[in-house]
Structure formats: structure tokens, C-alpha cells
Homo-oligomer: A and B are copies of this chain.
Amino acid sequence: MPNSSTYFLPQGFRTAGIHCGIKSNQSARDLAVFLSESDCIAAGVFTTNKVCGAPVQISRERVPGENVRAIVINSGNSNACTGEQGLADARTMTARIAEEINSPAESVLVCSTGVIGVPLPVERICDHVPELFENLGETPEHLQHAAQAMMTTDTFPKIISRYVNLDGGTITLTGVAKGAAMIAPNMATMLGVVMSDVKLTPAQAEDLLPIAVNQSFNCISVEGHTSTSDTVLLMANGQSNVGLDDKGDLAQFQAAVTTLCTDLAHMIIRDAEGAEHFITVDVEGARTFEDAEKIAHEVANDVLVKTAVTGNDPNWGRIVSACGRTGCIESEAEVSLAINNHAVFKKGKPVNFDENVVSKAMKTGEVILDITLNQGNGRWRIWTCDLTSEYVRLNSEYTT
């Protein structure tokens, strides 16, 4: 559990998280709201899966937006594969929240995460909206409650806050995420909410978020499965009155958002069920960055590479073979590999290394696979985790 003193809300934001009765556990929060007292510039990045939840379809219609006031999120039910009724239910959820703040339904965004194919108990949600609003507040505890209400199989809420000093003054950036990156039973979704009191233009918001997501949440992978509901939303209400007028400020804010998202992404990997190792796959020297990305993904998602790491086995053969499978190299002669800074394979040839030493380094739980090609300047980095018997147990013993 993160220390609550390390996070806080930007000016003008309040949050709440309560139990409304979707999760069977009475003490588990399952309904959250992230509310700004004034209109926000909002942007969103959504799953590329063609099978996507109703909330994804509704929120996608409403961003980018200039008059967004709130995000409502429920856990325990993803409202996916629920047809026309699901779309109507997602709309109803946003309308009910909007009613409380005298705004149009379009000013509310929505996310749902949990089991799929089960009708959303939308009445139960609507009935609890007054209680949700009674619980609104701006303290770290209120933020934590909202983060908890997004959780499914997460073992801890994932929250990060940062102050960013810009030319015009200091702004606040707070991010919340949930998800065990599809590692969890039954379609666990990755959700992220980024709030700031910075003053953005719609174009800035729309440009900023995909860049940040691409270098953070899209660089984590547990088993390569994109869920039906993955969503990252950004709300900026401008209450700091600090804008991003010059290029330097824009770059600095972009970096801050990207770092925030990266830190949240790492928290997701560290919370991946059954995981014992945090793995960084770092590819450089590829022909293009697309090639580097392809190689990094292939290695990161390779079941044999993952299980080798589980066993602290510096099995370079599995890694080099995964590189070969991408078609991005002509032969192993182009490949060098280091595991936790120990060279194990150099330009196509095995290096004589002490397996016990490298294995011991892997036992720390932090594993860095440096793959260096001699083709060009393409680089990409991905974070992932290993594959353990516990993962299989969790995902096979869970019954719908």
C-alpha cells in the first residue's frame, strides 16, 4: 500500500470510491468518480481490440472534449459483449452522474472493468450515486478510495502525484491506474486516469496523451493480450492558470506525463499475479524502431523466455531464437546479448560465462535483457514479468 502522504489531487478535483454492490465482497469498493469543479480539456487512448466494451465506445465518442467534468468507473463488471443494452447502460451511468452536477451526459466519461458478457446492474449503480457524491473529497484518502474502487485483482491501488515546475508556475499531475495487465483472471483491464490543473489546449491534450501512453502503458506486456476495455483518460481543468505556451514547457510537461505513466505501468507489472521477476527487454541497433519494437515484443511475450527467467536460467538460446523468429535479422551473427550486464552471446557466438554468477544476478528478481544488433539506430524497450506456476494456477483455477 503506497504511503498516502505521497499523493494528492490537483486543484479543483475531488474523488470518491464506494461499494455499490457489484462486487460480492461487501467491503470492496466498486464505484468511483473523478470530478472536476470546472470544465476540463480531455483526451483518451483506447484498446485496439475490435471486441471492445460499451464504455469504450461511449467514452471514445466524447474525447477529445473541452467540457468534460467527470469520469465514472465501476469494477466487477466490464459491460463488454453486452450488446445494445450495454451501450444504453453505459449512457445511463454517465447521465446519472451528469444529473448530479447539472451538466449534459456528454460531459461525463465512463469505464467499466470486470467480468464480461454479464448485464451491468445499472440500477444499483444509479441508486448509489447520491452516496457516491456524499463521499466526494480532495484528501489523499478520497483519492485512494477512488483508486481502490477501480481495482479487480490488483493487490494495491496504483497512484502517483508530481509537482511540475513550469515557466508560469507549478502545476500538479496525478495519475491513477489499475490492472494486472491481462494477467488476472477473466479479462482484467488496464485503466488509467491522469488529472492535472495545467491549462491545456485541446490540440495539446490530444497530442500529449498518445505519446505518453505509447512509451509507457504500451511498453508493458504480461502475455501480449490487449483487453476489451483498456482505456487511459486525461482531464486538465486549467485551475493553476499555468499554460504550456513555449516549447520548453510543452516538452517538460510531456516528459512529466510520460514519466508518470511509466511509473504507473511499472506498478502494474510489479503487481502482476504470480510474477517473481521484473524483466526489462532493451533492444538497440535495429534497422528501425519498428523492428526494435517487434523484437522486444517477441522476446517479452515468449513463454520459453519467461519460464527460463522464472528458473533464473540464463538461457540465451531461447532469446536469440525469439529474435530470429521475427524475421528482423538475417542470422544470429547480427545479435549480441547481455543478461544483467553479463555478456552471454556476442555477434552470433556464445560467450564463455559463469552461469552461476548470472543466475545469481537474476535471482534478485530484476532481470535486464540487453539485445544489441549491428544494423542501425532502432531502439525499443519493454517491461514484462516472468511466467510462474502460480500464474497458471490463478488463471486456470478461476472458474467463470
In contact, A396 and B310 (Cβ under 8 angstroms): yes
Contact residues in B for A359 (Cβ distance below 8 Å): 399
Given contacts A83-B348, A317-B117, contact A51 B324 (CB under 8 A): yes
Contact residues in B for A323 (Cβ distance below 8 Å): 51
CB distance from A70 to the nearest CB of B (A): 27
- Pick the interface stretch among A13-21, A250-258, A325-333: A325-333
Give Cα A81–Cα B332 distance, bound, in whole angstroms.
Answer: 7
Q: Is residue A392 within 8 Å, beta carbon to beta carbon, of the partner chain? A: yes
Contact residues in B for A117 (Cβ distance below 8 Å): 316-317, 345, 350
Among residues of B, the one whose C-beta sits closest to the C-beta of A187 is B317
* 10 A–B contacts from the bound complex (CB under 8 Å): A51-B323, A51-B331, A81-B350, A187-B317, A303-B387, A303-B395, A310-B392, A313-B399, A313-B400, A391-B392
A369-400: which have CB < 8 Å to B? Answer: 386-389, 391-393, 395-400
CB distance from A74 to the nearest CB of B (A): 17
Q: Is residue A214 within 8 Å, beta carbon to beta carbon, of the partner chain? A: no
In contact, B311 and A399 (Cβ under 8 angstroms): yes
Q: Which of B223, B391, B396 contacts A308 (CB 8 A)?
A: B396
Of A187, A329, A386, the most chain B CB neighbours within 10 A belong to: A187
Of A186, A323, A399, the most chain B CB neighbours within 10 A belong to: A399
Name the interface size band of chain A: 35 or more
List the 8 closest A-B pairs by CB distance, nearest first.
A51-B324, A311-B396, A307-B395, A310-B396, A389-B389, A117-B350, A116-B317, A50-B324
Given contacts A50-B324, A322-B225, A327-B50, contact A397 B311 (CB under 8 A): yes
Contact residues in B for A187 (Cβ distance below 8 Å): 304, 317-318, 321
**Binary contact readout A185-228 vs B (1 if CB under 8 angstroms, 0 otherwise):** 01100000000000000000000000000000000000111111
Contact residues in B for A50 (Cβ distance below 8 Å): 324-327, 329-332
Give Cα A321–Cα B115 distance, bound, in whole angstroms.
Answer: 12
In contact, A228 and B321 (Cβ under 8 angstroms): yes
Contact residues in B for A396 (Cβ distance below 8 Å): 307-308, 310-311, 313, 386-389
In contact, A81 and B303 (Cβ under 8 angstroms): no
In contact, A81 and B398 (Cβ under 8 angstroms): no
User: Which DSSP category, helix, strand, loop or mixed, fits chain A's interface?
Assistant: loop
CB distance from A251 to the nearest CB of B (A): 33
In contact, A81 and B51 (Cβ under 8 angstroms): no
A5-39: which have CB < 8 Å to B? Answer: none
Q: Is residue A182 within 8 Å, beta carbon to beta carbon, of the partner chain? A: yes
Given contacts A187-B318, A400-B355, contact A308 B395 (CB under 8 A): yes
CB distance from A107 to the nearest CB of B (A): 27
Q: Is residue A320 within 8 Å, beta carbon to beta carbon, of the partner chain? A: yes
Give Cα A391–Cα B228 distance, bound, in whole angstroms.
Answer: 28
In contact, B303 and A225 (Cβ under 8 angstroms): yes
